[in-house]
């Protein structure tokens, strides 16, 4: 198994020092068996390299991994005023957890645990490189390092150096401290308290290393009568772009679209509506004039005119509704859809 020795981060040492860390004259922050080398803001953004003790390709599924030897032991390394003890884990976001995990294993990592909903908020894997755990979370977009978590002796004492209060973590009974964006760091840094025993139950222990991802909507769906017809309408007419098109066996596909302005944002699943309960439910909504969902647009009146010119049938013209303007149209797939703008 390969071991991590160093993280290279595009931050200035002075910014970390203000948060209670003790970088040395070379800008290196010693944290247990690992180090964070602060390369300055000119080096890029966030974590710009993970250094391993084996030969490795420079890019591993888009992640900047680098070859290097073990980190020399620091004699008399300064203690951190914030009580920082070690790096707990780094977080990687990816559009394909299995692919990125396989690439990390090929680079010398050891998978200690995998999980997916409902156990975890998203598909995840926990890959060990020596003392470091890399948490891989499927969150869309290009593969990239998202941030790191540092273990501290006393979370409340560390909070005094950050200026924010700890909050409850996803794991019951645990708290976490997030460094605010205005602290001047280019990478996200979180801190958690050392386990009460001072030990560590081990990599992938249930509840210890589950990623602290806030609940969010990643996929929503609309039932459609015909997926191919729906794809044409939602892309060619409404202007969405196709995100995923995965065969599910038979005619059904995992078919999603996204806004071209937010390609890594919430996906809309064009879901086959062949379940026996779907038809009557959709028909009842349409009969009562109830939209299935609502999309935001910059200007409802302008969008109404654009879509009407393309032959889209509106069941409700642009109408003022308090602080917003709304309109409702037929999506040709058995649904009424609302659009709204402030």
For residue 240, give the H/E element and its range.
none
- Report the C-alpha gap between 180 and 168 in whole angstroms: 16
The alpha carbons of the chain give a radius of gyration, in whole angstroms, of 25
- Report the C-alpha gap between 165 and 152 in whole angstroms: 14
| Dihedral sign of CA atoms 241, 261, 135, 172 in order | negative
Going from the N-terminus, what domains does the chain have, and what CATH number goes with each? Answer: 4-193 (3.10.180.10), 219-341 (3.10.180.10)
- Report the C-alpha gap between 261 and 152 in whole angstroms: 39
For residue 99, give the H/E element and its range.
helix 97-106
The pLDDT of residue 216 is above 80: no
| pLDDT tens track for 102-158 | 999 999 999 888 888 777 778 899 999 988 999 999 987 889 998 888 888 888 887
- The torsion angles phi and psi of 140, rounded to 5 degrees, stand at 85, 160
Strands 84-94 and 132-138 turn out to be: parallel
> 152 with 194: CB under 8 angstroms?
yes
| pLDDT tens track for 324-333 | 999 999 999 9
Question: Rounded to two decimals, what is the model's pTM?
Answer: 0.56
Give the pLDDT score at 171: 57
| pLDDT tens track for 45-89 | 899 999 998 888 778 999 999 998 665 555 555 789 888 888 889
- Provide the 8-state DSSP code for 42: G
């Amino acid at each position: 198994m390969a071991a991590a020795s160093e993280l290279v981060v595009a931050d200035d040492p002075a910014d970390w020092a203000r948060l209670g860390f003790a970088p040395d004259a070379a800008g290196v922050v010693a944290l247990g068996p690992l180090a964070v080398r602060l390369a300055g803001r000119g080096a890029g953004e966030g974590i710009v390299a993970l250094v391993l003790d084996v030969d490795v390709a420079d890019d591993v599924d888009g992640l900047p991994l680098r070859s290097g030897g073990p980190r020399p032991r620091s004699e008399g390394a300064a203690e951190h005023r914030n009580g920082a003890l070690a790096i707990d884990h780094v977080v990687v976001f990816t559009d394909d957890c299995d692919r990125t995990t396989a690439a990390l294993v090929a680079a010398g990592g050891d998978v200690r645990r995998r999980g997916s909903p409902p156990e975890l908020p998203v598909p995840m894997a926990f890959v060990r490189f020596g003392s470091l755990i890399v948490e891989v979370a499927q969150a869309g977009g290009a593969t990239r390092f998202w941030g790191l978590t540092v273990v501290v002796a006393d979370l409340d004492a560390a909070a005094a150096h950050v200026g924010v209060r700890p909050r409850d973590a996803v794991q019951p009974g645990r708290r976490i401290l997030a460094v605010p964006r205005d602290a001047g760091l280019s990478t996200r840094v979180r801190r958690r308290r050392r386990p009460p025993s001072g030990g560590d139950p081990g990599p992938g222990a249930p509840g210890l290393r589950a990623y602290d991802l806030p609940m969010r909507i990643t996929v929503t769906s609309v039932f459609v009568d015909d997926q191919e017809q729906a794809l044409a309408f939602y892309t060619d007419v409404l202007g969405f772009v196709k995100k995923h098109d995965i065969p599910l066996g038979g005619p059904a596909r995992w078919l999603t679209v996204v806004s071209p302005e937010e390609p890594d944002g919430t996906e809309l699943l064009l879901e086959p509506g062949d379940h026996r309960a779907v038809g009557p439910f959709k028909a009842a909504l349409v009969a009562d004039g109830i939209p299935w969902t609502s999309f935001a647009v910059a200007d409802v009146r302008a969008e109404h005119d654009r879509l009407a010119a393309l032959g889209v049938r509106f069941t409700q013209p642009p109408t003022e509704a308090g602080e917003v303007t709304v309109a409702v149209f037929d999506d040709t797939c058995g649904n009424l859809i609302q659009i709204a703008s402030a």
